[in-house]
Amino acid sequence: MRAFNMQNVKILATGIFMGLAFCSQVQAGEITVYSALEEDEIADYLAVAKKSLPDIEINVLRLSTGDLGARVIAESANPQADVIWGFAVTNMADKKILSQLEPYKAVNSESLPAQYRAEDDSWFAATGYMGALCVNTAVLESKKLPMPKSWSDLTNPVYKGEVVMPNPASSGTGYLQVAAIIQGAGEEAGWKLIDEMDDNMAQYTSSGSKPCKMARAGEYAIGASLSFVAMKSVEMGYPVSMVIPSDWAGYELEASGLLAGSKNKEDAKKFLDWTLSQEAAELYTKYKAIITIPGSKPSEMATAAGLPENLSEVLYPVDFAKSAKERPEILKKWSATTTK
Amino acid sequence: MSSAVAQQWFKNSQLVGDKLLVTSAVFFPLIGLCIFFCYPLFLVAGKSLQLADGTYGIANYINVLKSPGIVKAVCNSMVLSVSTTAFCLFFGFAVAFALQRSGIGGKRYLKGALSLPLLAPSLVQALGLLFLLGRNGLVHKWTGWDIEIYGFWGLLIANILYGLPQAILIIEAALRQSDARYYEAAEILGASKWKQFFDITLPNAKFGILSAGFVVFTVTITDFGNAAVIGGNYKVLATEIYSQVVGQMNFGMGAVIGILLLLPTLIAVYIERVASQKQFGGSSESAIPVSTNFYAKRDVPLGVFVHTIASIAVLVVMTVIMASFIKLWPYRMTFTLANYNITLSGGYTPLWTSLLVSVEAAVLGVVFLFALAFSMKRIPPKLAKLVYLLAVLPVGVPGLVLGISYVLAFNVSDNMLGMLYGSSFLIALCNFYHYHSQGFLTMITGVRAVPPALEETVSCFGGGNVRILRDAVLPFMGPTIISVFFFIFMRSMVTLSAVIFLISSKVSVAAVSVMRLDEAGFTSQAAAFSTCIMITVILAMGLMNSLIYLYSISGAGKEASSDQQGIEKRGLARMVDRTYCWSST
């Protein structure tokens, strides 16, 4: 055991301090973007954005909505990012995040309908996603269950122990579903429906995509989840059908904004402008259920799901600021109503 | 005359060197604990007192205690942690005993198999259990048996698999040294094998068993990963933190639960008290190692038992590895390599970052932890008590809380610490301090097994702490040091919960890639990436093991044997040499 002689200590020390060399330096023409968009769409968008904005190096850190929110709040003393790109608007409207944004009127933002941007221009939403049911057709068949079409259908006792849904306290997806039901059906009827669904619910998961993954693996017949995961699962070949609930389709907008602590606001603004451009809108049609930019084609997904061209027919005009404010109350009531 | 002066000078300088050694052995690890553990945690404690409107008060604590479901979560967490601890101690002792004291076959395999849950990303264990025991899992398909894996039982299995290797790590360190003469004496006095076990073996391993119990209890109560995947509606405290911090961006409430979770570590105070009581025996300089001969009546049932436990761990991991070669589990069961073509941006780069980070964490960890454990006996007892508490505290901090505390502490622009933020070295530090307690307790259990008489002998011959360290402690501690090194290395390769807050757009690690692939819906690719991580870890460990082996050959000349006895003999032989040297001067 001569492992502790000076020579080795020196080698160790060198090795340890090599790690320090990884410290990054901010350069002009470089921006850091925090995004909750999906991995593969980011790659697609960036490939095009880099061609249109050749002078800007765009570094993206992709995190799930919850992790991203926690990260931005934790970093608030010394913000590291320039832009938040595609982040659930319910979270964006929370004052802990809102207070870190700097209002910026992005080019084209005035053409967005009023409900898709903040009054003071601190955020705007170019895209959005919808709540969707992932239904495993193989399980339905083997258990001889009917295909559900709406939230109300899920109260049918035949589905007992076959439905999974995200917990609204830990998942934004869960919250948008609960909020849509309550706002759509009204306070009283909404809570009654949630109570009745609770009898059939096998479990409430902590993540929003988990119910769909469970349904596609055949663990349960129905998973209340997101349009994105549902489409992905269909595409990958799982025996899954995506069902947009016909009664109240919950949805969430993906908001973007400029962080007040940005050290390169000029480039950050250029990038934000790009996310509202027609070029970007074109790309969104491949991935997004909801595109708010006027004049863009309806998305492939919306068409496939049989949604009308004018989405406002099915989308309930949610007041997101109110939704964010009421959250604690709704969550309290939710845990009192559900038994699991 | 001049030689007397020289001798006096030598003695003085040796004393100074001695003091310097012990002081720095305590000082640097302690400074590290203060900067990289206490300070971040202090900031979290501050957050727990900060209210939504920015003022300070204890309202968050009251809100947490009043919130519906918290009593349920506390009860669930307690029941789960106590049961997991009981099983892990029983299984862990059986395995450690089988490895150190019995004559069963396949010890190397056993050891490897049971450390699989440590080197597998948490997704692997979750997927493995689901693929096997889920409602649509293999067992259900083959037997038609409807198992309800979600909930208490699933969670218990998952937590046992995760806690067991950590229990084994510590208990093994306690059973490593032994003295056959106690057993011979007992034999002559007519004590039965059972009596010998209860009166010699168990009491001697008491400290290790208590420490292992403490570690398992605390890792279970703070674990979020298993609870999220397989817990179903069985709500525990860690899921509460997650839903407060990540679900509702409510730091104050999350911080409160994080602070409350530190309470169980108070058990450590009791363990420390037990530890300070003199344990009989231990081992001595002339100890005769207990023979590990095959003894059928004991070793056949024991062997069957521990191999069954190991098979479960292997089965879980193998299922996931198999699934990574399947087109679409469980619907299109055809072989494919396509899942290994990782489409994620960055590809396999994070794997190499992880490797660097993990080696840094393990090297730093071993040096600091060994220094700390070695000097515990050589500093004032009051200080030792404080050091002990600080050193075991990190295990009580959930990864999520640790990660956020690091952002709060190191994302600063106005001092030196800020330079670390965004670097891979900070990730290494975070990983080391995340697993500080387990490493420390293993080291200290190992140090306690070093024969005190041997240290005294070195001391009597005029050898200072430097010599005690080299001639008495190090030769005995070799295997323990190596297992602590690999423990930190393996965990650092795959841990996620804290690290997720420290990656940047430029520096990312392998565990994050697995999570990203899974989040993006590519479950099979996530399984494939996990398989690559596991293979990398195994290869790296193999490489390091052979380097150690080569080093021990070149270091010890013709005495190439690296087993316990060899090391022991070498240490003693060297000491005899030195004794000769001293008497001749």
Task: For residue B332, list its beta bridge partners.
Answer: B328
Please check whether residues A143 and A210 belong to one and the same domain.
yes
- The residue segments making up the domain with residue A199 are 130-250+324-337
Report the pLDDT value the prediction gives residue B579, as an integer from 0 to 100: 39
Q: Which residues of B touch A328 (CB under 8 A)?
A: 248
Report the pLDDT value the prediction gives residue A160, as an integer from 0 to 100: 95
β-strand pairing of A83-88 with A124-136: unpaired
3-class SS at B277?
coil
- Whether residue A93 contacts residue B547, with contact meaning beta carbons closer than 8 Å, is answered with no
B326-340 residue pLDDT tens? 999 888 889 999 999
3-class SS at B234?
coil
Is the pTM higher than 0.90? The answer reads: no
Using a 10 angstrom Cβ sphere, with 0-12 exposed, 13-18 middle and 19 or more buried, the burial of residue A75 is: buried
Residue B477 Cα to chain centre, angstroms: 16
Buried b (16+ CB within 10 A) or exposed e, B122-131: bbbbbbbbbb
- Structure-model confidence comparison of residues A286 and B80, the more confident one: B80
Please check whether residues A328 and A244 belong to one and the same domain.
yes
B203–chain A nearest CA distance, Å? 30
Chain B residue whose CA is closest to A206: B228
Name, in order, each residue with C-beta under 8 angstroms of B38's C-beta and a sequence gap of 6 or more.
Answer: B390
Contact B407 A96 (CB under 8 A): no
Chain A residue whose CA is closest to B356: A19
B9-47 residue pLDDT tens? 767 777 777 888 888 899 999 999 999 999 999 999 999
Minimum-distance CB partner of B239 among A61, A64, A206: A206
DSSP class of residue B50 equals B
Please check whether residues A272 and A331 belong to one and the same domain.
no
Please check whether residues A147 and A120 belong to one and the same domain.
no
B564-582 residue pLDDT tens? 444 444 444 444 444 333 3
Contact B246 A331 (CB under 8 A): no
Q: What is the phi/psi pair of residue A192, to 5°? A: -65, -40
A106, pLDDT greater than 90: yes
Contact B407 A71 (CB under 8 A): yes
Please check whether residues A151 and A242 belong to one and the same domain.
yes
Quick one: what percent of chain B has pLDDT higher than 90?
48
- Of the candidates B157, B151, B120, B164, which has an alpha carbon nearest to the alpha carbon of residue B230? B151
Mean pLDDT of A94-116: 92
β-strand pairing of A240-243 with A290-291: unpaired
Quick one: what percent of chain B has pLDDT higher than 70?
91
Please check whether residues A287 and A142 belong to one and the same domain.
no
* CATH no. for B13-47+346-585: 1.10.3720.10
Contact A96 B422 (CB under 8 A): no
Surface of A (127-146) touching B: CB under 8 A: 138-139
Please check whether residues A274 and A226 belong to one and the same domain.
no
Please check whether residues A143 and A214 belong to one and the same domain.
yes
Contact A207 B228 (CB under 8 A): yes
A192-214 residue pLDDT tens? 999 999 999 999 998 899 999 99
- Whether residue B281 contacts residue B182, with contact meaning beta carbons closer than 8 Å, is answered with yes
A300, pLDDT greater than 80: no
Contact B246 A39 (CB under 8 A): no
Q: What is the phi/psi pair of residue A247, to 5°? A: -80, -65
Q: Is A94 on the interface with B (CB under 8 A)?
A: yes
Please check whether residues A281 and A329 belong to one and the same domain.
no
Q: Is B13-47+346-585's fold the same as B60-275+292-341's? A: yes
Model confidence band, residue A7 (pLDDT cutoffs 50, 70, 90): low
Report the pLDDT value the prediction gives residue B69, as an integer from 0 to 100: 81
Minimum-distance CB partner of A170 among B246, B364, B425: B246
Please check whether residues A302 and A287 belong to one and the same domain.
yes
Contact B249 A97 (CB under 8 A): yes
Q: Which residues of B touch A64 (CB under 8 A)?
A: 519
Pairs of residues, one from chain A and one from chain B, whose beta carbons lie less than 8 Å apart: 174
Residue A6 lies in a domain: no
Q: Which residues of B touch A66 (CB under 8 A)?
A: 245-247, 249
Residue with token string 């070093």? B450
Fold of B60-275+292-341: MetI-like fold (1.10.3720)
- Whether residue B132 contacts residue B139, with contact meaning beta carbons closer than 8 Å, is answered with yes
Highest mean predicted confidence (pLDDT) among A209-218, B277-286, B476-485: A209-218
Tokens of A281: 């809108």
Buried b (16+ CB within 10 A) or exposed e, B483-497: bbbbbbbbbbbbbbb
Domain-by-domain residue ranges, chain B?
Answer: 13-47+346-585, 60-275+292-341
Instruction: Tell me if the bond preceding A245 is cis, omega within 30° of 0.
Output: no
Please check whether residues A185 and A281 belong to one and the same domain.
no
Contact B520 A2 (CB under 8 A): no
Give the total residue count for chain B: 585
Please check whether residues A119 and A141 belong to one and the same domain.
no
Domains of chain A: total: 2
- Structure-model confidence comparison of residues B281 and B255, the more confident one: B255
Other C-beta atoms closer than 10 Å to the C-beta of B564 total 16
Q: Which residues of B touch A94 (CB under 8 A)?
A: 249
